[in-house]
Structure formats: C-alpha cells, structure tokens
Amino acid sequence: MALQEPKMRVMRRDDIDAVVAIDALVSKQQRREYYERKIEAVVNSSNNINTSLVAELDGKVAGFIMGDVYFGEFGIPETSATIDTVGVHPDYQNRGVAHDLMDQFLTNMKGVGVKKIYTLVNWNDFSLERFFANHKFQPSKRINLELQLP
Ligand SMILES: CC(C)(COP(=O)(O)OP(=O)(O)OC[C@H]1O[C@@H](n2cnc3c(N)ncnc32)[C@H](O)[C@@H]1OP(=O)(O)O)[C@@H](O)C(=O)NCCC(=O)NCCS
C-alpha cells in the first residue's frame, strides 16, 4: 500500500497534548509548561504570525515545527525567523514528515519576506544536525554565548 502524504496545517491550541507527547518521546523531557506558554503565544494572532505547523497522518499529529518571525528585532536589520523545536513521532520518522514540515515552513517564511532562518542544535545532536544540513542550514557567523549563574 502506498504511504499516505502527511497533511500540513497551522498549529492550534488543542494540539498541545500531541506536541508534548511527541517531544517527550524524542527529547526524553517533560516540557508541558514550556509548550503551553509557547502555543499560547503562537496562536495569539494579535501580536505575531503563527509560524508553527503540524503534520497529520491517519488523522493524528505525527510531527510539528515551531518557530517565530522577527521584523528587525534584536539588532538584526533583516526580517528573520527562528526554528525553536521540531519533532516527529518515532512511529512516523524516516518517511519525509519533517522534510514536508520544513518545506512548508520555508515556503511560509519566504511568503512573509524572511531572509534568514536561525536555529540552535546541541553540538552532539548529530541526527538533528544532519537533518538541518540536509536542508542547507550552515554554521552561522553569529556565536552563541552563555553565562552559568550560581
Ligand atoms: C530529526 C527529526 C525531526 C527528523 O524527522 P523525520 O520525519 O524522520 O525526517 P525525514 O523523514 O524528513 O528525514 C529523515 C531521514 O529519512 C529519509 N527519508 C525521507 N523520506 C523517506 C522515505 N519516503 N523513505 C525512506 N527514507 C526517507 C531522509 O532522507 C532522511 O535521511 P537521513 O537522515 O539519512 O538524511 C526526527 O528524527 C526527530 O524528531 N528527532 C528528534 C528531534 C528533537 O530532539 N526535537 C526536540 C528538540 S528541538
């Protein structure tokens, strides 16, 4: 039987359980509070554009991508975007779901005039790094600084 094409749509508030469950499976972390805050901000269309997407397969959320658009903020003159999280349910990995999410995300970003997209990947997360490299992401000229507070 031919594999079904995932259906892309904008993320909604009621996707929270599916998103938290997928994230828990792929990142081994429980981050409901983080996603509650994030989804609340992305679905509140009065102060930003909802860039976040989900992919549905068999009527279920199989994966998601979440990002933000910045119109000349943080001293960055050009309109830019970030990808904050991406995740695909292990049952649906390796069949192009993340690729389709990325494709749609990039199309949407081009549509709103974004010139550059930033993301952060842990240095030893090789599979995620490969996924971004396959989509032409490169090491940035900006460097990431941190300060550990006691
Ligand atoms: C990285 C991740 C998003 C990729 O999702 P995915 O849906 O499996 O990605 P894709 O299917 O588009 O691509 C994965 C591989 O499948 C291959 N593939 C794509 N479509 C395919 C198909 N129809 N048949 C066979 N292989 C296929 C791709 O070529 C790719 O191969 P590669 O990794 O060797 O380059 C997923 O593994 C994941 O969720 N990882 C955890 C990420 C994470 O930690 N998130 C939380 C913090 S941000």
DSSP the chain: -PPPPPEEEE--GGGHHHHHHHHHHHH----HHHHHHHHHHHH-TTTS----EEEEETTEEEEEEEEEEEES-TT--SEEEEEEEEEE-GGGTTSSHHHHHHHHHHHHHHHTT--EEEE---TT-HHHHHHHHHTT----SS--------
Q: Closest residue (by CA) to atom 17 of ligand 1?
A: 94
Q: Whose CA is nearest to atom 3 of ligand 1?
A: 87
Cβ–ligand 1 contact at 97 (below 6 Å): yes
Set out the domains of the chain in order of their start, with CATH numbers. 8-134 (3.40.630.30)
Model pTM score: 0.92
pLDDT at res. 74: 64
- Residues 80-100: pLDDT tens digits? 999 999 999 999 999 999 999
Which residue type does 9 have? R
pLDDT band at 66 (very low <50, low <70, confident <90, very high): very high
Cα of first residue to Cα of last residue in the chain, in angstroms, is 56
Question: What is the position in ligand 1's atom list of the atom closest to the CA of 26?
Answer: 41
In whole angstroms, give the CA distance from residue 51 to residue 11.
Answer: 8
Phi, psi of 107 (to 5 degrees): -60, -45
96 alpha carbon – ligand 1 mean position (Å)? 6
Q: Is the pLDDT of residue 2 over 60?
A: no
Cα angle for residues 134, 55, 14 (degrees, 5° grid): 135
Specify the pairing of strand 53-57 against strand 79-88. Answer: unpaired
